[in-house]
Amino acid sequence: MDESGRRHEVFIELRQRLQSGLLIMRNDVAHSPTEVKVSSSSSSSSTESSLLIQTPRELRRVTLPPGVSVVPGSCQPTPSGDDGAGEEGLHFRLRLDVKQQAEWRGSVIERLQVQRSYGFLCQACGACIQEKRVFRRVLPLPSGNWNALVGDWCCHPDPFANLKLHPRPEDCLTGDTYFLLAGDDSSNQALTINPRAAPETTATNHSQDSDKPRPVHTGTSVVSCKKCSAMLGEALTRDVFKFYITEVVETEGDGITNDITRLEFVEKTVSARLVELSSAQSMFRFSLQTPSGKAAVLLWLLNTDTLVAWFPEKPVVSGGNGPLIPLGDGRGDEEHPSRHAVSAVKVLYLPCGATNAPSSHRELISAWEKDISVHPLTLPETTCQEVVQLLQTSTSCLPPSLRSMNSYQVAYMRR
Ligand SMILES: [Zn+2]
């Protein structure tokens, strides 16, 4: 969907767990609640139902996932002045009937299974970096701040400090944001190993800290795609590779599907991983950082049961994700393609790189840095920048009343 950066005329947030929803409509779409008719329709041929929003000029349809529907007649305008309504437009509340929550795709780390054949591709160019791998074991590594926790709990030096957990040829070891694989013939041909670990040299980060020397992982090398030079991970030894989940795509069997944009891939991969870590380990606050340990953005996972749908400022002319709706009663003279309500996570965030950040932000960042319940997540520096870009684009498109909460900015990441 090429609509990044376009503000939303109509924005809908549905909470499946709370069985409620919020609809925000800009003043230029409708001036008064009496001009808006919100109804639900269900299809006789499928379990999908839709939310229909009729305004003086247009009819908009939002397709809901199976098992989710709007309670008929439940959509009510909130009084002007409540929850930011008023200047930015009309606010409506509605109730949902949720028989089953929308399904979503887990990250590669949740998807990898034993005794199945996988290939791995460079996400940037599609080059095959490992082909036909069948794992006998897929095992999680100790979590990212394992060493810090051991250090806090042990009165003697960390007994695991020098323990190297490396995969055997038929193993896949998974971390928070990466997996470890043993190399094979295809990887030897498709990968470039740079023996000098210098992943930060191409950074365009203007942080005041960027000139300071930073601890760089010793004993590791950068692994790049030989075809397009994209950085994919690190070589822990000549034969053991660490691939970041945001840089590599897995394919099962012979199927190769890499038809989403780079940013959409990053968005869905990172959001899926946030959900998985929060549900498995009750983590909600994350510090996304570069391999050299520099924090890029603080992320607070607020809720994971959200469905969002939006209609951007200009009508989508082609390439919509649904058929045009026939003009029913002749009221509307312009039609939007229907939109799907998609699963998303809602996050609060604070970018760490801004030199002009207010002091309250710097205090929050420094408090998070000291807090052991904040979970570090490492991704390549360029990917960290892409995540910040995604979050800021999401925020800028939201209705103004939704863009910030306390000292944090608010964004939605699709799953
Ligand atoms: Zn490549």
| Rounded Cα distance, 246 and 107, in Å | 10
| Environment class of 115 (CB within 10 Å of its CB; exposed 0-12, middle 13-18, buried 19+) | exposed
**What is the sign, positive or negative, of the torsion defined by CA atoms of 73, 79, 81, 82?**
negative
Give me ligand 1 centre to Cα 281, in Å.
33
Give me ligand 1 centre to Cα 174, in Å.
22
Q: Which two tokens stand for residue 347?
A: 């996050």
Give me ligand 1 centre to Cα 390, in Å.
22
Give me ligand 1 centre to Cα 23, in Å.
42
3 state SS for the chain = CCCCCCCEEEEEEEECCCCEEEEEEECCCCCCHHHCEEEEEECCCCCCEEEEEECCCEEEEEECCCCEEECCCCCEECCCCHHHCECCEEEEEEEEEECCCCCCCCCHHHHCCCCCEEEEEECCCCCEEEEEEECCEEEECCCCCHHHHHHHHCCCCCCCCCCCCCCCCCEEEECCCEEEEECCHHHHHHEEEECCCCCCCCCCCCCCCCCCCCCCCCCCEEEEECCCCCEEEEECCCCEEEEECCCEEEEECCCCCCCCCHHHHHHHHHHHHHHHHHHHHCCCEEEEECCCCCEEEEEEEEEEEEEEEEEECCCCCCCCCCCCCCCCCCCCCEECCCEECEEEEEEEEEECCCCCCCHHHHHHHHHHHHCCCCEEEECCHHHHHHHHHHHHHHHHHCCHHHCEECCEEEEEEEC
- Which residues are paired to 52 by β-bridges? 39, 61
Q: Where are the domains of the chain?
A: 108-260
Percent pLDDT > 90 in the chain is 55
Q: Is 4's pLDDT higher than 80?
A: no
- The tens digit of pLDDT for each residue in 173-229 reads 999 999 999 998 888 899 999 875 444 444 444 444 444 444 444 557 899 999 999
Percent pLDDT > 70 in the chain is 79
Q: Is 251's pLDDT higher than 60?
A: yes
| Rounded Cα distance, 297 and 98, in Å | 34
Average pLDDT (364-393) is: 93
Closest to 247 measured CA to CA, from 258, 238, 255, 237: 258
Say what the pLDDT of residue 152 is. Answer: 62
What residue type is 293 in one-letter code? G
Give me ligand 1 centre to Cα 380, in Å.
15
Give me ligand 1 centre to Cα 248, in Å.
9
Give me ligand 1 centre to Cα 313, in Å.
35
Give me ligand 1 centre to Cα 121, in Å.
8
| Rounded Cα distance, 314 and 300, in Å | 31
Give me ligand 1 centre to Cα 232, in Å.
8
Say what the pLDDT of residue 362 is. Answer: 85
Closest to 25 measured CA to CA, from 41, 17, 37: 37
Q: Is 17's pLDDT higher than 50?
A: yes
The DSSP bridge pattern shows strands 231-235 and 240-244 to be antiparallel
Give me ligand 1 centre to Cα 385, in Å.
19
Give me ligand 1 centre to Cα 190, in Å.
9
Give me ligand 1 centre to Cα 183, in Å.
17
Q: Which two tokens stand for residue 343?
A: 């699963």
Give me ligand 1 centre to Cα 231, in Å.
8
- Among 2-16, 267-281, 305-319, name the one with the lowest average pLDDT: 305-319
Q: Which residue has the tokens 């379990």?
A: 47
314 — phi, psi (to 5°)?
A: -100, 145
Give me ligand 1 centre to Cα 370, in Å.
37
- The tens digit of pLDDT for each residue in 309-328 reads 999 886 444 444 443 333 33
Give me ligand 1 centre to Cα 122, in Å.
5
Give me ligand 1 centre to Cα 345, in Å.
29
| Environment class of 128 (CB within 10 Å of its CB; exposed 0-12, middle 13-18, buried 19+) | middle
| Rounded Cα distance, 101 and 79, in Å | 30
Topology of domain 108-260 in CATH is 2.170.150
Using a cut of 0.75, tell me whether the model's pTM lies above it.
yes
More confident residue, 4 or 311: 311
